């Protein structure tokens, strides 16, 4: 069965860092939404259109992953619970399995520092580079969690985070 591992959460919570480290250790490729978004930014001026492209590519790519009975790690934010449920159903309808890891950062000083680093040379999809703006942007999105997903507080050392992820995947996938 195809296994799709989704890292989701707000900007600056560590999704990219952790998904990259997991990918190296388990030898599964990772697809980052930001890579697609940033690649089309110079051609498509509208943020909404860029996001539509990112999700269009995601679903086409995932169909190939499922058809190949492969595994993939996704770094795709997905803070809207309806979007997560839609993706989960879409994957299940095609015989795949989605495992979600929701990254949070409980220490606002660390989270703020991560966002501030982005302000030095922000990439196109790094639109928000301070915590106050981020909170205002997501004011209508409470902490919504999908049943069975791993909640990962990224203030912990990376080795501990990876151990927790690997344990979660072993417990839920086999």
Per-residue pLDDT of the chain in tens (174 residues, 90 and over written 9):
789 999 999 888 999 999 999 999 999 999 999 899 889 988 998 989 989 999 999 999 999 999 999 999 999 988 888 899 999 999 999 999 999 999 999 998 888 888 888 777 766 666 666 677 767 766 766 677 888 999 999 999 999 999 999 999 988 654
Q: Is the dihedral of CA 42, 44, 48, 50 positive or negative?
A: negative
**Domains defined for the chain, CATH in brackets:** 3-173 (3.40.50.300)
Asked if 7 contacts 19 with a C-beta cutoff of 8 angstroms, the reply is: yes
Residues of 53-81 as b/e, b for ≥16 C-beta within 10 angstroms? bbbebbeeebeebbeeeebbbbbbbbbee
CA distance 86 to 91: 9
Which residues is 97 bridged to in the sheet?
3
Quick one: pLDDT at residue 126?
Answer: 66
Closest among 81, 90, 82, 76 to 2, alpha carbons compared: 90
- As a whole number of angstroms, the distance between CA 19 and CA 41 comes to 23
Q: Is the dihedral of CA 54, 143, 146, 109 positive or negative?
A: positive
Residue 21: partners with Cβ closer than 8 Å, 6 or more residues away: 158, 161, 162
């Amino acid at each position: 069965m195809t296994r799709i591992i989704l890292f989701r959460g707000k900007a600056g919570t560590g999704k990219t860092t952790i998904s990259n480290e997991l990918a190296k250790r388990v030898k599964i490729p990772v697809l980052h939404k930001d890579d697609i978004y940033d690649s089309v930014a110079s051609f498509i001026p509208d943020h909404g259109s860029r996001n539509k492209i990112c999700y269009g590519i995601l679903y086409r790519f995932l169909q190939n992953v499922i058809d190949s009975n492969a595994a993939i790690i996704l770094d795709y934010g997905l803070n809207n619970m309806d979007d997560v449920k839609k993706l989960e159903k879409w994957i299940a309808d095609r015989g795949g399995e989605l495992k979600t890891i929701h990254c949070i950062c409980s220490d606002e000083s660390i989270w703020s520092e991560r966002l501030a680093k982005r302000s030095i040379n922000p990439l196109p999809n790094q639109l928000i580079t301070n915590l106050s703006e981020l909170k205002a942007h997501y004011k209508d999105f409470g902490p919504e969690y999908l049943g069975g997903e791993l909640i990962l507080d990224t203030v912990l050392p990376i080795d501990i985070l990876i151990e927790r992820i690997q344990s979660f995947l072993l417990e839920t996938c086999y």
